[in-house]
């Protein structure tokens, strides 16, 4: 994918030259850090993990939150900004790659701080705190000023452990009942913690929250499933493997019937149900947008991500990213087409409420 130019943090209208002033006002809605204007209008706050943050490409200097103009949040900001008078719209990109809402708060923050260089800026240190959704909500609440507010939140994938390949393989190799219990427990924690944060937001006047679930990014013949297969063979022996990855009989004689693909789907459905229930608690102020259905057939493409092509012929998931001799596999985050699809769903949901 082509390189992206990161947005400046502050853009001001230049008085005196009408043409320059118009350009500046057009760009103002997309500024991520402007002071709120005095006029009535709309404030858009994007919260969550790497899906709304954009998970910047390896050569982008955007650690630790990795915010990117190729994100759905940025695209929502563009569309809403185009529908508003420039001086009446503001977008704040608060989402942070790796963010969680329910599990391992201090671990995720400490890991972020440990990854920073010794000369890290105050902003980078502060962004590490945004790895925890309640801290994002704290920041969001600081910017409320009487305007109508749209808050979007996509979160939960990091809480499950799926974004860590070793953690994912551990889940894939767990006995069926243990796997279900683990996923159900995380989904319950996400539901409880997310509900508390949404309640904080909608307690304020003129705030609407749109929650999304997580799409299924997995290639039908994912290389992660192949890694699970290799781990099974090593732990159980080749003779104990079933027909599909993640199935078979382990050395304790426990039969594993759930395939890797079925496990992924079970986890995503459990997480989606939890998020949908949160939205249902206050349907006047909260909406739910599902990504599971729209992304069907647009899973990760073949190559580094697996051996199958998406059923639709068009993947909405990144494949290899970064330059150099060895590209890095992604296989999880939306590409430009995927981000645009999410943005369209969210803007449609917002417009239906107006």
* Span 214-258, pLDDT tens digits: 999 999 999 889 999 999 999 999 999 999 999 999 999 999 999
Average pLDDT, the chain: 87
Q: Return the structure tokens found at 204.
A: 């304020």
Cβ atoms of 317 and 334 within 8 Å: the answer is yes
Residue 30: pLDDT over 80: no
Residue 200: pLDDT over 70: yes
Mean pLDDT of 113-129: 94
Q: Return the structure tokens found at 248.
A: 């078979």
Mean pLDDT of 172-196: 96
Q: Return the structure tokens found at 321.
A: 């990213």
Mean pLDDT of 265-284: 97
Question: Residue 210: which H helix or E strand, with range?
Answer: strand 207-212
Cβ atoms of 249 and 256 within 8 Å: the answer is yes
Q: Which of 14-23, 141-150, 334-343 has the lowest mean pLDDT?
A: 14-23
Domain 31-163+180-218+271-318+333-352 sits in which CATH superfamily? SGNH hydrolase (3.40.50.1110)
Mean pLDDT of 127-140: 98
What confidence tier does 328 reach under pLDDT thresholds 50, 70, 90?
A: confident
In the prediction, which pLDDT does 263 show? 95
Going from N- to C-terminal start, the domains of the chain cover 31-163+180-218+271-318+333-352
Residue 57: pLDDT over 90: no
In the prediction, which pLDDT does 197 show? 98
Q: Which of 150-164, 286-300, 314-328 has the lowest mean pLDDT?
A: 314-328
Q: Return the structure tokens found at 190.
A: 């996400």
Output phi, psi for 53, to 5 deg. Answer: -70, -30
State the Cα–Cα distance between residues 236 and 242, nearest whole angstrom: 11
- What strand order describes the sheet that includes 207-212? 89-93, 42-48, 148-154, 207-212, 286-289
Rounded to two decimals, the pTM is 0.87
Give CA separation, 62 vs 56, 58, 254, 349, in Å: 7, 9, 46, 30
């Amino acid at each position: 994918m082509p390189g992206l130019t990161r947005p400046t943090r502050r853009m001001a209208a230049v008085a005196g030259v009408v043409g320059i002033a118009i350009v500046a006002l057009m760009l103002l809605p997309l500024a991520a850090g402007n002071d709120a204007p005095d006029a009535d209008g709309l404030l858009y706050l994007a919260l969550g993990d790497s899906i709304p943050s954009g998970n910047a490409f390896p050569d982008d200097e955007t650690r630790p939150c990795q915010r990117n103009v190729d994100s759905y949040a940025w695209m929502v900001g563009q569309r809403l900004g185009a529908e508003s008078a420039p001086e009446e719209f503001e977008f704040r990109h608060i989402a942070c790659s790796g963010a969680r809402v329910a599990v391992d708060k201090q671990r995720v923050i400490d890991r972020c701080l440990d990854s920073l260089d010794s000369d890290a800026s105050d902003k980078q240190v502060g962004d590490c705190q945004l790895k925890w959704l309640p801290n994002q909500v704290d920041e969001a609440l600081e910017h409320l000023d009487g305007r109508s507010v749209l808050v979007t939140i996509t979160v939960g994938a990091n809480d499950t452990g799926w974004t860590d390949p070793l953690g994912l393989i551990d889940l894939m190799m767990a006995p069926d009942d243990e796997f279900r219990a683990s996923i159900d427990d995380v989904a319950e924690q996400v539901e409880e913690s997310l509900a508390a944060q949404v309640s904080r937001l909608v307690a304020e006047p003129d705030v609407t929250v749109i929650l999304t679930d997580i799409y299924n990014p997995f290639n039908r013949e994912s290389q992660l499933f192949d890694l699970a297969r290799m781990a099974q063979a090593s732990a159980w022996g080749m003779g104990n493997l079933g027909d599909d990855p993640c199935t078979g009989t382990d050395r304790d004689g426990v039969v594993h019937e759930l395939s890797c693909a079925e496990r992924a789907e079970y986890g995503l459905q459990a997480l989606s149900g939890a998020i949908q229930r949160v939205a249902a608690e206050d349907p006047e102020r909260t909406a739910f947008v599902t990504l599971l259905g729209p992304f069907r057939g647009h899973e990760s493409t073949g190559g580094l991500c697996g051996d199958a092509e998406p059923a639709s012929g068009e993947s909405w998931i990144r494949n290899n990213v970064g330059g150099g001799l060895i590209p890095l596999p992604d296989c999880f985050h939306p590409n430009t087409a995927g981000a645009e699809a999410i943005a369209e769903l969210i803007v449609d949901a917002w417009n239906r409420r107006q």
